[in-house]
A and B are shown apart, each in its own frame.
Chain A
Amino acid sequence: MAIQRRDLLKGMTLGAGSLVLSPMLWRMQAQAAGQTVASKRFVFVVESNGVRPEQMAPEGIERKPRRQQPMNGPAETVDVPLIGKKLPFSLEPIQKWIDKVTIVQGLSGRVCGGGHSNNFGALGCFPTAGESQEIRGETIDGALAKMIPGIFPHIGLGISKRLENSVIYNVSAIGPNKGLPTMCRPDQVYSALFGSVADGVAKQEFAAKNNLLDFLKDDVKRVEARLAGPEREQLAAYLETFETLRDRQSRLNEIQHTLRENAPVTNDKYTSAIETDRLDAQFDIGAAALISGLTNVMTISSAAGIRDFDICFTGLGLKKGKHSIGHGGSENGKTWAELYDMIRRYHFDLIAGLIRKLEAVPEGDGTMMDNTVIVYLSDGAEGHHSRCWEWPIVMIGNIGGKLKTGRYIDFPGYGQVDHRTTANFYTTLLQLTGSSRESFGVEDPTLRKFGLDQHGPLQTLFA
């Protein structure tokens, strides 16, 4: 296969520490991809504990969970327009944007292995047998961050069941063994992203930080000059980080006005002990960060990952954690299935809020939302004890009309000729950014036995 020039150029930064991109490289990459940097945005919302397939079909379509075995579904793809239909209960908050919604069912992700969480495998399509937190490769958000890096190539926000966790590594990665952080404390995220323009000393701090970075750049260079061999490489890498940060300062300086205009207003929720409060705050900051142009790729993790999946949403009046609910626990007169729906609906309330904010910001001929795709899924695939026979996904947005949306698509059963996997879905997202990659993650060896070609995007999603 011939390597295309633009992929080659992008490939230049695929190595370890590739977050360290100089602005010059960003621009080169953007040009190579034939687009401006800010033209596409991806937001992943990852909720723990699985998304039940039977709860994701719109009015008038009955969808049962598929059996956990090959040939567990029809040979034909179901492709139904959503317009004019009522979305299922948990998706009602986004009913207003139904023409932009795509509900994708029937994809498998067997290679991940399953369990209470597929951890990094959920967005990475690689084995995480025994609920392992091994990072075997990049995850889709990391891969996209490399394609369309913003001032911050990737921002990971989230909540952990433990209030004291400030930064965790749970679902996102830039490469093998290189997790991307999920920042769990809204107050700290706020300082990290908007601190520079937050109060009166902002200008001073900005100047002092520039001096600090210049001083350290100089100091590290002096020490580097004294060294030779591999120890020198260590210093060179350290030096490069200061150079990158100094460049970022310049870029933040350029958009200072924007930051000041869009910084969220902090409130008690930023430090609340209640999980839903903190998640509210994270969506608040996330929207502001996107609007300020701080990043093009964001992941919002709602207690995803094996360490947090059993979180309890006390803010929704619950005493039972998600683990109990996953095992059939009922509460407040609601069955476990209703509780699943209720918690998911809360997440779609937040997603609706994000859409509203992005729609309010003009961009090009339309709004920011026109260039954004929000992907909702669970690290726990199709259920509490996932086996990844299917993996429901909800996608909102069409990236400037590149996606044909307003549809309910249900792919054929595992092993059927037209069966597809989450890797195909992620390949679709990559191609939206101009990549010519034909695959993502690790192939499912069993599907290979069925003679299925696992390459390529989900063509049907493209307009």
Chain B
Amino acid sequence: MSGRDSLRLCVSSRLRTCALPAHWLFAVAVLSGGLHSAANAQEQTKAQIEAVRAAALQASMEAHRKDVVPFFETHCVRCHGAKKQEGELSLEKLDPDMTTASAARWATLLEQITTREMPPEGEPQPTPGEIQKVVDWIRSEMKRSGKHLATRKEYANGNRVPHELLFGPGANAPFDAAPGLRRLSHDIYDAFSKDVGKNVNGLGNPFSPAGGTTFLDMGSPKIDEPVTTQLISNALSIVRNQTAWREDKGQLKWVGQREFQPLFEKDAEVTDEQLQTAVTAQFLRVLRRKPTDEELARFLKLMRTNEKAAGRETGFRFALAAVFLLPEAVFRSEIGAGPKDVSGRVRLSPRETAFAINYALSDRLPPAWLLDAASKGDLDSEEQIAAAVRRMMEDPKQQTPRIMRFFREYFGYAAAEDVFKESKENQDHKSNVLVSDTDQLVQYILAQDKEVLRELLTTTKSFVNNRLDPQGKKMEPGDKKKAIHKSYGLPDDWKWTADQPVELPKDERAGILTQPAWLVAFSTTTDNHAILRGKWVRERLLGGVVPDIPITVDAQLPDEPEKTLRERMRVTQGEYCWKCHQLMNRVGLPFEQYDHYGRFRTEELGQPVDATGGFEHTLDPKLQGDVTNPVEFVRKMADSEIVEQVFVRHCFRYWLGRNETPGDANSLQTAHNAYRESGGSMKALIVSLLTSESFLYRVPLARPEQAGLLTPK
């Protein structure tokens, strides 16, 4: 039997099953709300539903036969057919009716096709039109069958989505952001426990990042038992502090929260009102809202039960701690509310929007004005949201540490502090000062807010051994004893000045990638790490995908102290290694211009330094070619529009907390335009992202009556 025949057989067998047994249809009709209709009308409804469903199934199977089967036959069945089932996948057996168990496999298939993982390199590639037909069919069948394709959370690596599907002419996949819940991030929980648990010792942070993502606060790791254990223990510690007496001159003095005091007075009856006041205060503190009547009633019940079982003091404390553990206190909600619009999307609720834009910029609970705006309907339009975002960024009282953190995580230079160096070898190295210098440079460039990426990549300015004194009044040397400036290539006799940033030699430095902090972050105890540097450049600026190191590879360079790193890297040029190393080596080696402390050098092991490198396999054809030194190398990338778009993709990932998918093309292009039209303003880029379709809308499940909100309506 040919592949085509067997695929057809599969389709026709599906069509036959659409003649459903009568009792099934009855059940369907009942579920569809037919219960209250008269028997006659019920019959009619039944028939209508039957007709509509059968027609929909038939149309979908027909489209599958017409648009998908030929594609499979041309491009897939040779490896995934009856004879050979690579990856245990036979497309001939894959049921096109996704109401069966096949939907998950189709979702994987969709991912493989849209990211062009399949058909594999070296095989004839389908045209964008052919791909689109298959993609459209999978999407529509998923819709018909009530299986939500957006449940595939994210691709393992955002760069795997081909750039042209996001910024090219073929970027037209429908928007499909799934609703979701994310635990609080590590930093949000930190800030929360500092605010609410002020002066409480020993609060541990249970929310470690998921790991394996581009940025720390991405993905949605599930909460497991050690996390909850820590949350409970923290909540109890905080409540103990909120309900404390302190001895003062022989007298016990209440030092806890005012509203809680009546609950812990000796010998007094505690009224329901007092309990309600206490619970309300705790809700406001932890959730920034009042409890609903129903919630109040349940908490009151818990209070009284606990009082009986555990005595007043312990009982009330544990009940007050429960507020910290409510799902709403632990998760960020991005579910969306309200009716679907014409494109099948729902908007985040105003409260969700307020929390989302707040946590995009800050780690602390939303400011009062923002929650007010949400409840008054002042966050309904995109203009209003944009205004709120701008206010968040411009209000000097409002801290927005997440902007700075983006650059730290994107460039990764803060890791310099984790790289162990032998102090004997270079007495003038101090990693935390280098990191602080680069922090200040980023802040300086953000304050100008003009051509931010270009400046970050090309500036010859730098802060050198600079810090604010502990009183926060004036600048002073970061380290008074060490000659930190030697790392920047300044003359040995250079004297520290408060007039910073200073100019560095133009032919030696260009931007963050030539800052000692970045160079040290990508080094080892004794050496540069040209491979990791190359990987960084390939992924974060060139938008490429470097496969994970195969676990069968013993990734070690030979131990040959008499040879340069470039020479020792020859072992990566074997055929097997080169498949990946061709993506890293030549875009990492220009930084050999510096030693592993980030010092500019002209000689290495008695030979002139070889800092050549070059671009191959780039999305931007204009970049291709050799370079002779790091400054030329970095400047070339700063001129590339595609590099800028790759930067925008990373911003998207950071601020949306997930990888981009083809359905986010519109949001990404709008964000890039906003950046361009504003002359490279980071603020404009952030406003655009936080008011984008991807940020504000969700495409809910097929059965919206099941979906709800984390916060009671």
Q: State the A residues within 8 Å of B (CB).
A: 16-17, 19-20, 68, 110-111, 113, 115-116, 126-127, 129-131, 135-136, 166-167, 169, 176-177, 179-181, 185, 188, 191-192, 201, 204-205, 207-212, 215-216, 219-220, 223, 226-231, 233-235, 237-238, 240-242, 244-245, 306-307, 327, 442-446
Whether the Cβ atoms of B211 and A216 lie closer than 8 Å is no
* Proximity string of chain B (216-235) to chain A, C-beta cutoff 8 Å, 1 when within and 0 when not: 00001011111111101100
For residue B224, which residues in chain A have a CB less than 8 angstroms away from its CB? 16-17, 19-20, 237, 241
Whether the Cβ atoms of A245 and B229 lie closer than 8 Å is yes
Closest Cβ of chain B to A188, distance in Å, is 6
- Please give me the residue from chain B that is nearest to A110 by CB atom: B554
Interface size in chain B (residues, C-beta < 8 A): 73
Whether the Cβ atoms of A179 and B309 lie closer than 8 Å is no
- Please give me the residue from chain B that is nearest to A243 by CB atom: B225
| Contact A231 to B306, CB < 8 A, known contacts A116-B420, A216-B325, A444-B554 | no
Whether the Cβ atoms of A235 and B181 lie closer than 8 Å is yes
Partner of B180, one of A135, A215, A230: A230
Does B367 interact with chain A (Cβ within 8 Å)? no
| Contact A188 to B202, CB < 8 A, known contacts A208-B318, A241-B225 | yes
Closest Cβ of chain A to B384, distance in Å, is 26
For residue A211, which residues in chain B have a CB less than 8 angstroms away from its CB? 302, 305-306, 309-310, 315, 318-319
- Please give me the residue from chain A that is nearest to B335 by CB atom: A231
Alpha-carbon distance A228/B418, docked complex (angstroms): 42
- The stretch among B265-273, B405-413, B705-713 that forms the contact with chain A is B705-713
* Proximity string of chain B (689-713) to chain A, C-beta cutoff 8 Å, 1 when within and 0 when not: 0000000000011010011111000
Partner of A185, one of B202, B225, B551, B554: B202
For residue B232, which residues in chain A have a CB less than 8 angstroms away from its CB? 209, 212, 245
Does B41 interact with chain A (Cβ within 8 Å)? no
Whether the Cβ atoms of B306 and A208 lie closer than 8 Å is yes
Alpha-carbon distance A342/B424, docked complex (angstroms): 26
Whether the Cβ atoms of B212 and A234 lie closer than 8 Å is no
Partner of B310, one of A169, A205, A223, A237: A205
- Please give me the residue from chain A that is nearest to B178 by CB atom: A230
Q: List 13 A-B contacts (CB under 8 A).
A: A127-B551, A130-B532, A176-B212, A177-B210, A180-B226, A192-B229, A192-B233, A211-B319, A223-B327, A223-B710, A227-B708, A228-B701, A238-B327
Closest Cβ of chain B to A255, distance in Å, is 18
- Between A169, A229, A327, the greatest number of chain B beta carbons within 10 A of the residue's beta carbon is seen for A229
- Please give me the residue from chain A that is nearest to B321 by CB atom: A212
Alpha-carbon distance A330/B609, docked complex (angstroms): 39
Whether the Cβ atoms of A177 and B229 lie closer than 8 Å is no
| Interface positions of B from 313 to 349, Cβ below 8 Å from A | 313-315, 317-319, 321-322, 325-328, 330-331, 333, 335
| Contact A226 to B153, CB < 8 A, known contacts A192-B233, A208-B309, A219-B326 | no
| Interface positions of B from 135 to 183, Cβ below 8 Å from A | 148, 151, 153, 178-183
| Contact A204 to B311, CB < 8 A, known contacts A211-B318, A226-B708, A234-B220 | yes
Given A126-B551, A211-B306, A212-B319, 20 more contacts at CB 8 Å?
A: A17-B222, A116-B525, A135-B211, A176-B212, A177-B210, A177-B211, A204-B315, A205-B310, A208-B306, A208-B314, A211-B305, A229-B151, A229-B700, A234-B220, A237-B224, A238-B223, A238-B327, A245-B229, A307-B418, A446-B554
| Contact A229 to B222, CB < 8 A, known contacts A179-B208, A208-B310, A238-B327 | no
- Please give me the residue from chain B that is nearest to A153 by CB atom: B225
Does B204 interact with chain A (Cβ within 8 Å)? yes
Whether the Cβ atoms of A216 and B322 lie closer than 8 Å is yes
Does B553 interact with chain A (Cβ within 8 Å)? yes
Whether the Cβ atoms of A231 and B180 lie closer than 8 Å is yes
| Contact A242 to B551, CB < 8 A, known contacts A216-B322, A219-B327, A230-B151 | no
Alpha-carbon distance A188/B313, docked complex (angstroms): 22
For residue A226, which residues in chain B have a CB less than 8 angstroms away from its CB? 707-709
For residue A115, which residues in chain B have a CB less than 8 angstroms away from its CB? 525
| Contact A201 to B223, CB < 8 A, known contacts A212-B322, A230-B153, A231-B179 | no
Whether the Cβ atoms of B327 and A215 lie closer than 8 Å is no
- Please give me the residue from chain A that is nearest to B235 by CB atom: A212
Alpha-carbon distance A204/B314, docked complex (angstroms): 7
Whether the Cβ atoms of A229 and B223 lie closer than 8 Å is no
Alpha-carbon distance A201/B233, docked complex (angstroms): 16
Does B607 interact with chain A (Cβ within 8 Å)? no
Does B13 interact with chain A (Cβ within 8 Å)? no
Partner of B327, one of A19, A127, A131, A235: A235
Partner of A167, one of B148, B180, B204, B310: B204
For residue A192, which residues in chain B have a CB less than 8 angstroms away from its CB? 229, 233
| Contact A129 to B555, CB < 8 A, known contacts A211-B302, A219-B326 | yes
For residue A207, which residues in chain B have a CB less than 8 angstroms away from its CB? 306, 309-310
For residue B551, which residues in chain A have a CB less than 8 angstroms away from its CB? 126-127, 136, 442
Partner of A306, one of B178, B420, B708, B710: B420
Does B556 interact with chain A (Cβ within 8 Å)? yes
| Interface positions of B from 424 to 444, Cβ below 8 Å from A | none
Closest Cβ of chain A to B221, distance in Å, is 8
* Proximity string of chain B (167-201) to chain A, C-beta cutoff 8 Å, 1 when within and 0 when not: 00000000000111111000000000000000000
Closest Cβ of chain A to B560, distance in Å, is 13
Alpha-carbon distance A135/B225, docked complex (angstroms): 19
For residue A215, which residues in chain B have a CB less than 8 angstroms away from its CB? 298, 302, 319, 322
Does B276 interact with chain A (Cβ within 8 Å)? no
Does B552 interact with chain A (Cβ within 8 Å)? yes
Whether the Cβ atoms of B318 and A209 lie closer than 8 Å is yes
Closest Cβ of chain B to A212, distance in Å, is 5
Closest Cβ of chain A to B658, distance in Å, is 12
Whether the Cβ atoms of B225 and A130 lie closer than 8 Å is no
Please list the 8 inter-chain residue pairs (A to B) with the smallest Cβ-Cβ separation, ordered nearest first.
Answer: A226-B708, A177-B211, A208-B318, A208-B310, A237-B222, A241-B228, A17-B224, A204-B310
Alpha-carbon distance A238/B524, docked complex (angstroms): 40
For residue B701, which residues in chain A have a CB less than 8 angstroms away from its CB? 228-229
Partner of A16, one of B222, B327, B707: B222
For residue B555, which residues in chain A have a CB less than 8 angstroms away from its CB? 113, 127, 129
Does B529 interact with chain A (Cβ within 8 Å)? yes
| Interface positions of B from 624 to 668, Cβ below 8 Å from A | none
For residue B309, which residues in chain A have a CB less than 8 angstroms away from its CB? 204, 207-208, 210-211
For residue A241, which residues in chain B have a CB less than 8 angstroms away from its CB? 223-225, 227-229
Closest Cβ of chain B to A427, distance in Å, is 17
Alpha-carbon distance A17/B319, docked complex (angstroms): 27
- Please give me the residue from chain A that is nearest to B326 by CB atom: A219
Alpha-carbon distance A166/B222, docked complex (angstroms): 23
- Please give me the residue from chain A that is nearest to B526 by CB atom: A385
| Contact A177 to B212, CB < 8 A, known contacts A113-B556, A201-B314, A238-B330 | yes
